[in-house]
């Protein structure tokens, strides 16, 4: 991180007060990176403008910050890499991260623009893509995990982060690059080989960090210690607990392997069994400005709590004061409305698992 800060400081040397040197990036409007448009759109002026923004905001380490408006003008010399975060010196927070889809989506967008072959700055887009991949390779721990923030920032940011599907997004990208799938036909054989190696290491740490209870693999936690792989907490309201949504997403990553090893098959079978075990039926979760409410409803489900206590397998809910509750209605109004305490996404993973198991699982279901 010191090198990145020094690079920004060097840009700002000699600038006058009140210039762009003190400006922060514009916050993202909330509609995410446009990755689902028609292929020809990625050669359009609108797409090239976004690509220029992405290149300009690439950090010295090669990654990108989160929640930045990519439809805004390019970053100017001395301008901050992110829009800032209260309490952080010079807004230096999440500068280079895989959180909130950052870095992986910038790389995917650049790949689509490169695949279009349009624009006078194709060489710059390719160089930025390679630098971004190098960033991921450098950020990866020897055991295959990835920190939430890189260069390392300390605290929970250094943990192996499955939260919000951070590593799952990176693993999927690595797989596409490794196979030169779709938009990634421009990738060199050397870069593809390095992506394959990185992907395989990520798969290994996913399997190694799966939580075992009495020897039985279950799901995963939001974050794991980068050395011991033990589960660790994150923000005050994110306790050490098994997580349903991220576990389901990790199963999808493992199921992408076209020739799964016995270890992969065992991990997927166990993870799917755990999701089935903790599924909730007959309850309906509704979020509103007044607060999320869980109510009985005949025929409802399956539904999953975001967090499950590792020892009891009961849903648990955290508040900003670090208190842990077994009833979501006990939370403060701000936390009850500001977090997805119940999810339904794992159902789609279990549907996919049914098809996968018929082909790969010894049990066939």
Are residues 162 and 118 located together in one domain of the fold? yes
* 199 and 250 belong to one structural domain: no
Domain CATH for 50: 1.50.10.20
For 113-158, what is each residue's pLDDT tens digit?
A: 999 999 999 999 999 999 999 999 999 999 999 999 999 999 999 9
What is the pTM for the complete model shown? 0.93
For the chain, how long is the longest CA-to-CA vector? Answer: 69
The domain boundary, picked from 209, 231, 261, lies at 209
Q: Can you give the residue range of the structural domain that contains 344?
A: 243-365
187 and 321 housed in the same domain: no
pLDDT, mean of residues 98-110: 98
Residue at a domain's end among 209, 234, 260: 209
Partners of 231 in beta bridges? 224
Please check whether residues 273 and 350 belong to one and the same domain: yes
Q: Are 310 and 241 in contact (CB under 8 A)?
A: yes
Identify whether 320 is a catalytic site residue: no
Q: What is the pLDDT of residues 4-33, one digit of tens each?
A: 878 787 888 866 544 555 566 777 766 689
Name the one residue in this structure whose structure tokens are 């230096």. 92
pLDDT of residue 179: 98
> How far is it, in rounded angstroms, from Cα 134 to Cα 85?
27
Instruction: Give, rounded to a whole angstrom, the gap between the first and last alpha carbons of the chain.
Output: 47
Is 126 found in the same domain as 14? yes
Q: 223 in a domain, yes or no?
A: no
The two structure tokens encoding residue 227: 């050395």
* Residue 217 in domain: no
Residues 46 and 161 in one domain: yes
Q: Is residue 316 part of a domain?
A: yes
User: Is 238 inside a domain boundary?
Assistant: no
Residue 50 has pLDDT above 60, yes or no: yes
- Residue 226 maps to a domain: no
- Please report where in the chains the tokens 């689902």 appear, as a residue: 36
With cut-offs at 50, 70 and 90, classify the pLDDT of residue 91.
low
Q: Please report the pLDDT score of residue 184 as a whole number.
A: 98
**63 belongs to a structural domain:** yes
Same domain, 257 and 204: no
- Do 32 and 171 sit in the same domain of this protein? yes
Is the same domain home to 54 and 192? yes
The predicted pLDDT at position 339 comes to 83
Looking at 37, 181, 212, 235, which residue is catalytic?
235
- Tell me whether residue 359 is in a domain: yes
For residue 235, indicate whether it is catalytic: yes
Domain count, the chain: 2
Domain edge (last residue) among 185, 209, 233:
209
One domain for residues 68 and 114: yes
Residues 196, 250 share a domain: no
Q: How many whole angstroms separate alpha carbon 233 and alpha carbon 124?
A: 39
| 169-217 tens-digit pLDDT | 999 999 999 999 999 999 999 999 999 999 999 999 999 999 999 999 9
| 172/265 same-domain check | no
Residues 6+ apart with CB under 8 A from 79: 20, 21, 23, 24, 25
Determine which of 20-24, 62-66, 241-245 has the lowest per-residue pLDDT on average.
20-24
Catalytic residue among 53, 100, 165, 169: 100
Over 60: is that where the pLDDT of 255 sits?
Answer: yes
Contact between 168 and 142 under an 8 Å Cβ cutoff? The reply is: no
Classified as helix, coil or strand, 96 is coil
């Amino acid at each position: 991180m010191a090198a990145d800060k020094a690079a920004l400081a060097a840009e700002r040397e000699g600038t006058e007060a009140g210039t762009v040197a003190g400006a922060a990036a514009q916050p993202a409007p909330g509609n995410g990176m446009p990755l689902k448009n028609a292929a020809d759109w990625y050669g359009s002026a609108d797409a090239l403008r976004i690509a220029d923004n992405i290149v300009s905001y690439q950090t010295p380490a090669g990654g990108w910050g989160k929640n930045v408006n990519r439809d805004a003008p390019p970053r100017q010399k001395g301008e901050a890499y992110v829009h800032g975060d209260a309490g952080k010196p010079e807004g230096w927070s999440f500068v280079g991260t895989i959180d909130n889809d950052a870095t992986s989506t910038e790389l995917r967008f650049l790949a689509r623009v490169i695949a279009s072959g349009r624009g006078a700055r194709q060489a710059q887009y390719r160089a930025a893509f390679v630098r971004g991949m190098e960033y991921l390779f450098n950020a990866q721990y020897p055991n295959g995990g990835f920190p939430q923030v890189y260069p390392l920032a300390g605290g929970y940011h250094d943990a192996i982060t499955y939260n919000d599907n951070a590593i799952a997004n990176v693993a999927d990208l690595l797989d596409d690059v490794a196979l030169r799938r779709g938009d990634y036909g421009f990738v060199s054989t050397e870069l593809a080989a390095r992506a394959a190696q990185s992907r395989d290491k990520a798969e290994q740490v996913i399997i190694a960090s799966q939580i075992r209870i009495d020897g039985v693999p279950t799901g995963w936690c939001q974050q794991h210690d980068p050395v011991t792989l033990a589960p660790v907490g994150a923000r005050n309201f994110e306790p050490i607990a098994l997580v349903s949504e991220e576990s389901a997403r990790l199963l999808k990553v493992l199921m992408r392997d076209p020739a799964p090893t016995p270890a992969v098959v065992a991990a997927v079978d166990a993870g799917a069994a755990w999701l089935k075990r903790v599924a909730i039926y007959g309850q309906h979760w509704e979020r509103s400005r007044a607060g999320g409410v869980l109510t009985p409803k005949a025929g409802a489900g399956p539904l999953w709590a975001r967090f499950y206590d590792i020892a009891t397998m009961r849903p648990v809910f955290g508040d900003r004061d670090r208190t842990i509750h077994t009833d979501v209605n006990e939370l403060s109004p701000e936390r009850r409305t500001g977090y997805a305490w119940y999810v339904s996404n794992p159902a789609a993973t279990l549907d996919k698992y049914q098809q996968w198991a018929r082909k790969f699982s010894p049990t066939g279901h």
